[in-house]
């Protein structure tokens, strides 16, 4: 049971769940309006893209585990990132200010990841 509590194993589990969920979706597309451009992304492709991104973060966590000393920052990064992805998936109207806030939350979670790496390098 202690194996799943490592950040990279947790990310692999969540990424696998997103990948499996991509086979059982009922929603067809996600529409995103950015400025004058209107993007339509297939929901299956979006879920698989999220799974790939989470697998990449899992690899980063596995490779940099000796530099990531603050476990609370690791899990805070993961939880905030998953909340931002979840809000984007379940929001009914991803236009305007809502999309800006989701993007801001996602970027702030990446700053937590970089902060954790910097603290780990400074400690070594």
Dump pLDDT digits (tens) for 52-99.
Answer: 999 998 998 888 888 777 788 888 888 888 888 888 777 755 555 677
d(CA 26, CA 36): 28
Tell me if 22 is assigned to some domain: yes
Tell me if 105 is assigned to some domain: yes
Tell me if 58 is assigned to some domain: yes
**Domain range enclosing 92:** 7-123
Tell me if 104 is assigned to some domain: yes
Tell me if 1 is assigned to some domain: no
Domain count, the chain: 1
Tell me if 2 is assigned to some domain: no
Tell me if 16 is assigned to some domain: yes
Please list, in sequence order, all residues whose beta carbon lies within 8 angstroms of the beta carbon of residue 30, skipping any fewer than 6 positions away.
Answer: 40, 41, 42, 43, 46, 94
pLDDT digits (tens, 9 = 90+) for 9-50: 888 998 999 999 889 887 777 777 767 777 788 888 888 998
């Amino acid at each position: 049971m202690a194996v799943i509590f490592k950040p990279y194993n947790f990310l692999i589990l969540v990424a696998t769940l997103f990948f499996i969920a991509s086979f059982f979706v009922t929603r067809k597309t996600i529409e995103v309006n950015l400025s004058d451009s209107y993007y339509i992304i297939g929901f299956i492709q979006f879920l698989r893209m999220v799974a790939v991104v989470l697998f990449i973060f899992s690899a980063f966590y596995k490779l940099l585990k000796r530099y990531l000393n603050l476990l609370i920052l690791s899990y805070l990064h993961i939880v905030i990132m998953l909340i931002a992805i979840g809000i984007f998936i379940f929001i009914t109207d991803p236009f305007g200010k809502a999309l800006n806030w989701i993007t801001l939350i996602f970027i702030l979670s990446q700053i937590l990841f970089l902060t954790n790496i910097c603290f780990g390098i400074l400690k070594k």
